[in-house]
Structure 1
């Protein structure tokens, strides 16, 4: 069994798995660490990870879809059909697990149902190459928020941050669909930008040092410029415009003041003014927020790929955590809802230590995580059925 695990790890990009581990740890920190620290300021965990960790997860979803569907060689014809079937099967597993987790009283905005829908959105883009995907993703980072703002202008009720679950799907399917696509915490309409850019990155030759450097440098530049641009606009009169417009009935994690770039917006911008599209605040879904978090995600991925080149197998323990984030994230939600709520002492260290204690030996002696294995079985079965159908014809 150790030999099998070694073979699996050699086939995988450790840098990509390590980036997934960073995303998981970042999300754990924002889940269990207080938004405001004991000094009355935004806590370090939220300054560093709020909005960025979940965006990294979404970008890496796109990377995973691209890698699983041919990598640098996009599928066509029968290859696209099998890749689409496998991707749809994975989406179904992720979505169902998300519905189950949404029923737990965790207080967390569970991402998995949104994640599953994003997998389905990826299907028509599987044939595209890197340049087209990255270009479309960056374009959508501007178009998506404008379209979202326009569609939500007629919504008079407060925009929800509810978590889709089996109950909401059965009793209010239209509302659940609206939450997933438009008004929820990770709305697919705007988050498609992360998906497309991630798919484009997954079509690049990620084992090359030059690509890793390009991701790290380009991502850092995009993150800095978009954030600085938003800060400059706010200081130049934008903040006064937003204070005058107000948030209406829109949820935020804090007041609209000089600290606005650290205020969370639960997935969407207020519709009281189009000026809200100029903020880079976490989970606002405005263009500066999408571009900044896209840049952060690319920079983290690039750095992890460079670290893989620098230290090689020494990165394996971190990559082991990232290789089973589906399982570990789900376990984290259940633990927060049951025996290890965010109120326990050193919650972040406890949850992170549990993730490492499970992932490292499991990856070493077993291989895929439990939920990853279920998704793989579903994907392989769907792929096989498509091939058999094509052969019979």
Structure 2
């Protein structure tokens, strides 16, 4: 969602001198940048499709956008956010310590706060969309202590978040009193200020896109962004490992809920739901924010937005595989991908525009195919024109400028004022102090 930061390594010897701050110039997109930007565009289009298409058709069959993108498109967004953070690390390659590390972390905090602000402003639109933007702001802030750590550290942290996060969410389900008039409504600046503690708990654990769980996506994305993404070998590895993780977690869920007897345990432990209702939640995800917590067997579920360990790992695998496939397809740098790459450079702006379109109801909800294509084509036209004329997207530019400003403020040491030797040291005998006031022979000025 953020614009890709380019490499701009600084000399490690310039530790005491004031670094020269140059106006960033947007270079021509590389194949690496194109692949990542196209992946962002795919994630955005997937989320738009989930919003405009119904979950199922009139005949009761699940719609293809929901089957393909529900839960997976937003997970792809989160992984790509981690990739963007890794690109910032690459820009500070060679001296990711001291002032540079502090400056990058401060810029990451500013970026997260601004994204959070935009997300809370979108909450005032009162759309039926569960806005993901404020959670992404929290994710960027949570990423600060992980910034600069080794890939091994991040790969250990990712499964810990994917397992312990859902466990904590399962334990807190029903134990956190909701104080909002509508618990399923998006937070706004007003509601967040009125219930700050509840707001933080929801953002971290109990909300629609709990950041503690979604840190698993961000950590893996940071590792991916450190790789040589122009390499065909790296792309193939991403496809293989991602597809293997997605398929294995899905198969494990089927085994646990089938031959292992998990489905029967769900039915026995959840008498408030019929067998058909439980089967529907296994296919379409929970009806509200949470899946039931009547038994730990619910942790074996892989369904959209269920936020179980297996579902987090399944979505993670699907996102990694999708990035690998897109990197392979865009290795040639063909101009056919340029409209998608342009969209991918300003997904925050275009996601916000999508929320406004939904609020205004200017497109016919009964014609989802038309609505989807109108938005995709409009996004492409706007992105290509804006990018060629100005550069970064409107919101992306504001966030980039603000984070770059704070980065330079923290990274650049303050100049020390030279000491005035005449004010502190007496003049040497026999010399004339030209700065001293003239005096008369009697000693008066």
Same fold (TM > 0.5):
yes
Partner of 1:371: 395
User: Is 1:386 matched with 2:407?
Assistant: no
TM-score normalised by L of structure 2: 0.81
Alpha carbons 1:247, 1:271 under 8 Å: kept: no
Alpha carbons 2:31, 2:330 under 8 Å: kept: no
Bigger shift: residues 240-249 or 308-317: 240-249
Cα 1:9–1:213 shift into 2, 3 Å: same
Shift of 1:332: 0.3
Partner of 1:276: 298
Shift of 1:22: 0.6
- Stretches of structure 2 that go unaligned for 5 or more consecutive residues are 1-23, 418-445
SS at match of 2:279: coil
Written as runs of structure 1 = structure 2, the 5 A alignment for 1:212-227 is 212-227=235-250
Match of 1:117 among 138, 153, 162: 138
CA RMSD of aligned residues (A): 2.6
| Whole-angstrom distance in 2 between the partners of 1:171 and 1:183 | 18
Partner of 2:382: 358
Partner of 1:81: 102
| Whole-angstrom distance in 1 between the partners of 2:201 and 2:176 | 11
Shift of 1:155: 3.7
* Count of aligned pairs between the two proteins: 386
| Whole-angstrom distance in 2 between the partners of 1:71 and 1:143 | 32
SS at match of 2:277: coil
| Whole-angstrom distance in 1 between the partners of 2:140 and 2:288 | 22
Shift of 1:20: 0.3
Cα 1:67–1:268 shift into 2, 3 Å: farther
Bigger shift: residues 42-51 or 235-244: 235-244
TM-score normalised by L of structure 1: 0.91
Per-residue CA distance 1:310-337 (angstroms, 9 max, x = gap): 4544322211111110100010001100
- Stretches of structure 1 that go unaligned for 5 or more consecutive residues are none
Partner of 2:190: 167
Bigger shift: residues 85-94 or 262-271: 262-271
User: Is 1:206 matched with 2:226?
Assistant: no
Per-residue CA distance 1:49-86 (angstroms, 9 max, x = gap): 00000111111111111112226948222221111111
Alpha carbons 2:116, 2:136 under 8 Å: kept: yes
Q: Greater share of helix residues, 1 or 2?
A: 1
Cα 1:392–1:42 shift into 2, 3 Å: farther
Alpha carbons 1:28, 1:348 under 8 Å: kept: yes
Bigger shift: residues 58-67 or 333-342: 333-342
Bigger shift: residues 192-201 or 232-241: 232-241
Partner of 2:147: 126
Bigger radius of gyration, 1 or 2? 2
Per-residue CA distance 1:102-130 (angstroms, 9 max, x = gap): 01021100011100000000001112122
Shift of 1:27: 0.3
